[in-house]
Amino acid sequence: MLRRKSGTSGTPPTSQFKNPDSNSKNGVSRSNSQWKLLDRFKPQNPPLKSSSTSQISEENSSSIKKGSHQGSSHKGEVCIKNCKCCGTVVSYSGGKHKFRCSVCNTTNVIINEPRCQPDPSTYPHVLSFRRVKKMLDICVHDADEACRQGNSKSTHEIFEPLSSYLFSAFKSYPCLNNSFKVKKSSKKIHYSTANLNMEDIRSMFILLTHLPTKRPLYSALSGACELLKRVEVYQDDDARNLLWLLILLEIPFLSNALVNYEKGTSTKITSMIDVPEIKTLCYDILKRVFGIMAQFNSTSQNNYIASWFSKLNKREFSSKVDLINLYITFHLKKYFHIANNPHLSRRKSSSSSSRPHEHPTDYEYLDNIELKNELEEIPPSDFRPPSHLHPSVNQIPSRSILSRSKSRKESVVKIKIHQYANDWHLKTAAIFLSTFIRANYIRDDSERLSVSIFYNSLLDFANIKLDFDSWQSNKKSNVKPPNDLQEPELQTVIDYIHGHNNSFKFNESSSYFFCQYPFLISLGSKISILEYEARRQMERKAEEAFINSLDKRIAIDVYFKVRVRREYIVQDSLRCIKMNPTNLKKSLRVQFIDEPGVDAGGIKKEWFLLLTRELFSPQAGIFVNIEDSNLLWFNVVPIENYEMYYLFGAILGLAIYNSTILNLKFPTALYKLLLGKPVDLSDYQKLYPVSASNLLKLREYSNEELMTMELTFEVSYTDFLGKVHTKQLIPKGTNTIVTVENREKYIEKYAKFFMYDGITNQVNFFVKGFSNVIGGNALSLFSPQEIELLLCGSDEEKIDVAILRSITKYSGWKDNDHATNSSPVKWFWEYMDNLSYKQHKKVLAFVTGSDRVPATGIQNLNFRISRLANGNDSNRLPVAHTCFNELALYEYSSREKMLSKLTTAVNESSGFGIK
C-alpha cells in the first residue's frame, strides 16, 4: 500500500480534480461552430488540482502509464489515474488491472478495450415491473400451496427467491443496464429518449415497499451498492453504458435518507423506507451515483445525458435538481453546525477512532446522524445558531428567512472554506448538477426553469467572499510562471499594486470552491461579491488618489458626480463619464443644472430614465425596434458616433452598481454579449421570430426548389431612410447559390449577421463601456438571466401584497401598532388588495420610480409610509418620495376621499421639487 503524500500527519486525503477554468473561458468548450446546439453540452474542464495525492490500496493494481492513455503497464512503473467515483488522483504501482481508492473505498477495474455486449445467458433475467410482480405472485402462490400441505414458511422464506433474484440482478452490470427498456429491440441511441421506462422503475420500488418484509427491498439496494463499489472503466464513450446509473437515480425514496433523521422529528418508524439500514443504503447509492456521473468527461456522453434530462417534465426535472441540492445541503449543514459548535468536531474525531477496522465511508452517514442527534442534546443556551434558521434541524432554511436580516446572519459563525474545500461529495454533486444546467438551457422556453431553482440557500451561510478571494488566488497561482524569481516581500508589494491578495495562500491546495459552480450561489450573494470586489478596487484607487493628492493639495470626492442639462442630457452625460474613468465605481450623485433637488436616489432614477429614453428614441438611430418581437436591437446601419454605444454600456454598468432598475426591452442575447457568451440561432428566433421561421423552412425544400428560389449568400436590409443595403455573407457570396449541401451554412451565416457579425463595432463599443464600469471576475459568476434581473428587476406575474405589507416601515405615528390601525393605512392596504396587476405596477412606479420589484424579490424592497400634516385632513394629493421609496399620506376625512386622491396621484402626477 502506497503512502499518502502529505506535509502534515493526520491530514485527510486531498482530492485532485481537473480545473474547470483552465481551457475554456466560459467553462464550456465548443467546436468551430458555436451555433450547433449540442456543442453547449460539452463538459466542464477538469477542476482545480490539489497538491497531494491520495493513498491507494493496491488490489492487483494496473492502469495506464503516467503520461499515457493506453497500453499496459508493468510492475515497478508508477501509474496515475483518477478514481471513477470521487475523482481523486491516485498513484500506484502497475502490473495488474485494478486499484481501490482509499478516499471513497471504490474499486476501479481498468479494462483497456471497448465494452462488449455480453451474452444474455450469462447474467440474470433483465428487470421489469411485470417480471418482479410475476415473481411476487409465484412466491405467494407457492407459500399458499405449502401451507395447504402443512409446510408453513416464514415471511423471509416466502420471498427468498425474489430477494435472491433482486440482489443478483442489481449487482450485475449487464443485467441492470439492459433492464426497464421501453423498446427492447432498439439498437440505436437517440437524443430524444434514454429508452427507459421511468414509471416502471418507480412502480417496482414502490411495490417492494408494500411487502410484509423489507428483505427484497434491502437485497435490491444492497446489490446496487455492491455494483457501485466496483466500477469497471472501459475505453469507450457510449452514453448507453450509463443507463444503470439513471435507473438507480429513479429510486423514488432516495431523498428520504437526507431528511427526517433526527431524534426529535419522528421516533416511530411508519414505513420500511424509514429503517436506518434502508436509509444508509439509499445514501450510499446517492453519493456514488453522483460521484460516478461527475467523472464522465466525454462530450458525447454528456450531450446525450443532458438531452435526456431536458426531456423530463417540469416536476420530474425540478425534483432531480432538488435532490442534488438536498444532498449538498446535507453535507453543508454538518459544516455549519461544527462551525457554530466546535466541540462537536472533537466528538466526531473521537467517535471515528473507535472504528479502526472500518473505512470512513462505511459509517459517514451514521456519523452525520449522530452529529445531528447531539445537537438535540445541547441546551438552548449553548446552541450558537439562532433559532429562526433552524425551526427543525432537518429543514432547509427558506429563501425568505435567509434574506430577512443581515444582522441575524452575521450573528452566526459562517461555514469555513477549509471545511468543504476538499470534500468530494460537494464537488461531484456540483459537477453533476451542472449537467442539469446544460439540460435546462436546451429545454423549450415554456418548460425552462428559472435559474433560482438551482440556488442552494445554505450557501448564504458560507464565507462566500473568502471563497471568491481564494478562487481568484488559486487561479492566479495556477498561471504563475514556475521560474518566478521574485523575492516574497517584493512580490507581495507588486501583487498589492495590481490588486492581488496574497492572504489566501493557505487555500492553494483546495480543490473545490463554490465560485467554480456559480449556479449554486444565490443572486443576493453574487451581488454582495460584486459590491465587495468593486469596493476593494475603489479603496485601492482612493489610496492611490490620496497619495497623489498630498503634494497637489487636491480634495478627494467620495462620489461620482454627474452634472447635466436636461436639453443636452446625452452629451453632458457622455462627457462626465469619459472625464471620470477612475470614478465610475463610486456612488453616483446626479444634479440637473439650474434645478432644485438633492439627490438621495430620486434624481438619479430620473437621470437614468431620461437618458435611456433618449438613447432608445428612433431619432438617435442607435437601436431599432424589431416589430416581430417588439424588442430593441442594435442598428445594423452604422451611425457616425459609436461613442453612443459606449455610453449605453456605461449606463448599464452604473445602473447595476447603483441598484437602479431600468425599463429595458432587449432580448437575453444582449446580456449574453455583456458576459462574453456567444449568441446562437435560438437567440435569433426570439428576436426575429417570423424571419427565423421562414429561414428554417429552407430545410424542408428539395434541391430543385432551392434552385428555383435563386438565393445567394447575401443579405439585404434597409436603414431608417428606406435605403436598401446589401452585404455578402461569405467571400464571393453574390455568386454562391444556396443548395441542399450548403443551406445549413446559409442559415447560420444569415442569423449570425444580424446577431453579431453585422454589428461587431457597435457591440464592441457597448461592451467596452460596460466593462469600464464593471470590471473584474465577479461578473463571471452571473448568468445572462441574472444580469437581466439586476438591470430590469423582476417582472413577477403578481405583487404579493401580504409580503409588501409585512416589510413596510412607518413614520409619523407613535409606533407601528398605531400606524397599522390608523384609517389611512388601513384604507391604503384595502386599496392595494383590490387592484389588478397593472394597477399594482403603477403604484410601484409612483412610489419607487420603477414598476418592477428588486431582482432579489419584493421582500427586499425598502417600502415606507409616512404621515403628513401631523395627522390633519387635507385636500392635497398624496406625495411620493422616490428617493426613499416612501408614500406620504394625509389623514383624509373619508375612505372615498383618500382613494380618489391616491388614484389621481398615481395616474397623473410627475415631477421633482424641494419643500
736/716 Cα distance (integer angstroms): 15
* φ, ψ dihedrals at 250, nearest 5°: -90, 0
Q: Which of 452, 460, 467 is nearest to 402 (CA)?
A: 460
Are 533 and 778 in contact, with CB atoms under 8 Å apart?
yes
250/198 Cα distance (integer angstroms): 7
282 assigned to active site: no
How is residue 719 written as a grid cell?
Answer: 436603414
Identity (one letter) of the amino acid at 303? N
Treating both helix axes as pointing N-terminal to C-terminal, what angle do 424-441 and 276-294 enclose, rounded to 10 degrees? 60
Are 650 and 767 in contact, with CB atoms under 8 Å apart?
no
Which run of H or of E encompasses 232?
Answer: strand 230-234
42/796 Cα distance (integer angstroms): 33
Residue positions counted in the chain: 915
Neighbours of 31 (CB within 10 A): 11
How is residue 562 written as a grid cell?
Answer: 454627474
User: Which stretches of 229-298 are DSSP H helices?
Assistant: 243-249, 276-294
Q: What is the dihedral of CA 274, 335, 856, 43, to 10 degrees?
A: -80
SS3 state at 99: strand
Neighbours of 315 (CB within 10 A): 8
Neighbours of 584 (CB within 10 A): 21
Q: Which of 678, 570, 676, 671 is nearest to 621 (CA)?
A: 570
Q: Which of 388, 393, 354, 386 is nearest to 371 (CA)?
A: 393
CA distances from 241 to 108, 114, 173, 176, 184 (A): 16, 11, 9, 10, 15
Round the CA-based radius of gyration of the chain to a whole number and report it.
32
304/391 Cα distance (integer angstroms): 41
Which run of H or of E encompasses 339?
Answer: helix 314-340
Q: Which of 321, 603, 275, 562 is nearest to 438 (CA)?
A: 321
The end-to-end CA distance of the chain, in Å, is: 82
Residue 105 CB partners (closer than 8 Å, separation 6+): 229, 359, 361, 362
Residue 592's DSSP bridge partners are 564
Residue 208 CB partners (closer than 8 Å, separation 6+): 132, 166, 216, 217, 220
691/717 Cα distance (integer angstroms): 12
Q: Which of 601, 638, 608, 599 is nearest to 621 (CA)?
A: 638
Report which DSSP code applies to 598.
-
CA distances from 186 to 175, 360, 592 (A): 16, 42, 72
CA distances from 169 to 127, 830, 855 (A): 7, 64, 50
710/802 Cα distance (integer angstroms): 62
Are 92 and 126 in contact, with CB atoms under 8 Å apart?
no
Neighbours of 867 (CB within 10 A): 20
Residue 633's DSSP bridge partners are 624
Strands 107-111 and 98-101: antiparallel
221/167 Cα distance (integer angstroms): 8
Residues recognised as catalytic: 883
